[in-house]
Structure 1
Amino acid sequence: MKMSTNEASALQDYLYLTTLDGYCPDAFIGGRQAIPPDAHDLWQFAVDMIYRCLQCDFLVINENWTAAHNIEGALEFARLLAKHDPFDSDDFNESGALYWIEPELTASKKTKDLIARFQIDLASAACQPLIEHIEDSFEANGLAYGEILVPVGEGI
């Protein structure tokens, strides 16, 4: 497993939650909160992980929302998340909330099947076989974990 235990647990919990209902990307950073000391790293993790999960069919974004906002594909969506700092209240209130709060992400059938197969819930510790399966999928799609895919804060 390449992810740290904390990262694996966060991803696993988020994927589990999206099997229950749609969640906004903001959930990937822990929701609205005071600016944590590792805000930039958390932002980067969220953007790259959302992008990987969309590209590898672990998550699905509401197509009506993307069509209404003329967003074509996971990469364009990830670039918009990367452009808008979720911890900068001015940017967030001006336009960032459109991308961090409005869209709904849900688990794909593949994710629902994996969560059921490994019997995951919020009380579950990071499940190494599940995370390794996810990491293998990332790798097979050219989105290896540990690489920055969509740099945040570069005014894209």
Structure 2
Amino acid sequence: MSAYEFPALAIQDWLRVFCYDSYCADAMTSGLTNSKDTVLRWQLAVDTLYRLIASDLLHIPTLKADDLSAQKAAALDYIKSLAHHNPFSSDIEETSHWYLWDISATDRCHRLIEAYGIRDIPQGELSQGLVAALHNLFAENRVAWSDQPLIAVSADS
């Protein structure tokens, strides 16, 4: 897998998992790539979470705001902040940012998983319909997948 190749099967699997339970952001640092490169894993986690929240597939239910738009903006700001906190650091202050909030599937995510029968297909089998739907959602929300980082990670800031 190249550095920014769309990890379709991994995203499909994560969306299925999020439909069953909530997870903290740190969970996304594994399973999106087989690479042992921690910077790549960090980058994919930040970019993927940002895209999934921007596309209303994931949300942070306990993050309080005046309205849904403000709640989404706060969630996206949180994901942006993760680009400056290395989840693989040995510093607990650094990694603790990845555990601040539980992230859950939205109703839209549940509907998408249901529409493409993702719960019923065997593990490891990819739904091309879901892949196309994800690409469309990402493009509609101006977070299309590309060969460049969406939000470049940096431990220097």
TM-score (norm 1): 0.80
* AA aligned opposite 1:94: E
Are positions 1:88 and 2:86 aligned together?
no
Identity %: 31
The answer on whether the counterparts of 1:65 and 1:103 sit within 8 Å (CA) in structure 2 is no
The answer on whether the counterparts of 1:60 and 1:108 sit within 8 Å (CA) in structure 2 is yes
TM-score (norm 2): 0.79
Are positions 1:118 and 2:151 aligned together?
no
* AA aligned opposite 2:93: E
The answer on whether the counterparts of 2:86 and 2:94 sit within 8 Å (CA) in structure 1 is no
Q: What is the correspondence of 1:25-64 to structure 2 with a 5 Å cutoff?
A: 25-30=25-30, 37-64=36-63
- More divergent stretch after superposition (125-134 vs 46-55): 125-134
CA distance in 2: counterparts of 1:114 and 1:49, whole angstroms: 17
Q: Tell me, which stretches of 5 or more residues in structure 1 are unaligned?
A: none
**Runs of 4 or more off by more than 4 Å in structure 1?**
none
- State the secondary structure of the residue aligned to 2:59: strand
The answer on whether the counterparts of 2:83 and 2:151 sit within 8 Å (CA) in structure 1 is yes
Deviation readout 1:54-84 (Å, 9 max, x if unpaired): 11101011333789xxx95233212211111
**Larger fraction in helix:** 1
